[in-house]
Structure 1
Amino acid sequence: MDNLTNESTIGRLLEEISWQKAVRYRQGGRGIEDVLTAEVFMPLDYLPRDLFLGEVFRRGHGADRARAAVVAEIEDAQFTLLPDEVLVGPNAVKVQPDGYLSTPSTLVLMEAKRIRRSSFQTKQLARELVALYQESNGRTPLLLLVLGAPPPVLVDTLGRIEPARAISLTIDEVIEETGATQMTEDELPTDLEDTISWITWTEIRELVMDQAASLPDLPHGLDGTMRRLAAAVTSAVDWHT
């Protein structure tokens, strides 16, 4: 029992809340991205992987080859919400992803934004990209952005901008501040579009509805369970919108 770790979705969310003012979470944390992410991705973790979580990656935008690699191994994927901070580079700059999805040959770092208006910190995307490459250990890396609306995204000091462009403008500064100078141009992607993917919460809601409607005939109890889990996803998106 001593070797057990806090890896459950609810446990990770509670740990995150413990570092914040609990008053923020009145009304069930409505509109807060951590709560939304937990309420959507916990049912997706339990539903049949290929039909639901795999479909999230099929319907994503960008990084086609990386998304296909994730889908090919989706049944073996392990999802962790609000993982521990990543210490990036020799300078141990802290990066806090919203989630990891790990398969034998891929690593997905997920950054989720709330459905209502939100923004990225100026160097946030570049820091997450460097953290992703540091942690990938030779696996295919994918930075998945779950957004309230399609790009361009709002980035502090940069305005409305495409995610890849925001990274390009700040990556050199991030490499310098982290001390991750081993990440030369040969090690970082030459085309960021091969690594960055995005999908909106509305698209996730729609695909879950589509997949639930197309379920094959199942035993009554199993059918009801799957439909309740799917409804939990759509209700969460509606609640937080």
Structure 2
Amino acid sequence: MVEAKRIRYGSFQPEQLAREYITLMSKTGPAAPVLFLLGAAPPVRVKGLGQLELAEAVGRFLGPVLERVADVSLPSESELMARLPEVFCWISWPELDGCVREAAATYSAGHPSGDASVQRIAAFVQNAIAWHA
């Protein structure tokens, strides 16, 4: 699951991360779950609460959301909290920009048209990040 946040001042609704986490965990089956936060590296902004570490942003609302869902197949609240580090991952917009720049500078397709295509895509991503920043 991917959650993309605005480049400037994107914030999560208070229960949003807990709801998304529970939704992901209820749908993954035997697959390895990943909740990827694009543009939102911890601490994350939570509306009305400021910046919180990921465990606090999820943990504050996990219990009440689990009670409303009432899905007995889900792991317990404590198990879900223990799994946070293996499920959540993130990259900030500046980190993504740096990765794209580095990859574009070192990539070689071995063919001029392939190299030019990669450079155009990298420039497009970099320009989009810069324009929205």
Q: Do they superpose with TM above 0.5? A: yes
1:172 correspondence with 2:63: yes
What displacement does 1:139 show? 0.9
User: Which residue does 1:216 correspond to in 2?
Assistant: 108
User: Which residue does 1:132 correspond to in 2?
Assistant: 24
Q: How far apart in 1 are the matches of 2:79 and 2:109? A: 48
Q: Which one-letter code corresponds to 1:218 in the other structure?
A: G
Q: How far apart in 1 are the matches of 2:102 and 2:47? A: 36
Contact persistence 2:14–2:48 (CA under 8 A): yes
1:147 correspondence with 2:39: yes
TM-score, L = length of structure 2: 0.88
What displacement does 1:214 show? 0.5
Contact persistence 2:59–2:81 (CA under 8 A): no
Structure 1: runs of 5+ lacking an equivalent:
1-108
What displacement does 1:176 show? 1.5
1:233 correspondence with 2:130: no
1:163 correspondence with 2:54: yes
User: Which residue does 1:206 correspond to in 2?
Assistant: 98
Q: For 1:56-135, what aligned pairs fall within 5 Å after superposition?
A: 109-135=1-27
What displacement does 1:201 show? 1.0
What displacement does 1:157 show? 3.5
Residue identity over aligned pairs, in percent, reads 36
- The structure that is helix-richer by fraction is 2
Q: Which one-letter code corresponds to 2:36 in the other structure?
A: L
What displacement does 1:178 show? 2.1
DSSP-derived class of the 1:169 partner: helix
Q: How far apart in 2 are the matches of 1:217 and 1:110? A: 28
Q: Which one-letter code corresponds to 2:48 in the other structure?
A: T
Highest RCO, 1 vs 2 (Cα 8 Å, sep ≥ 6): 2
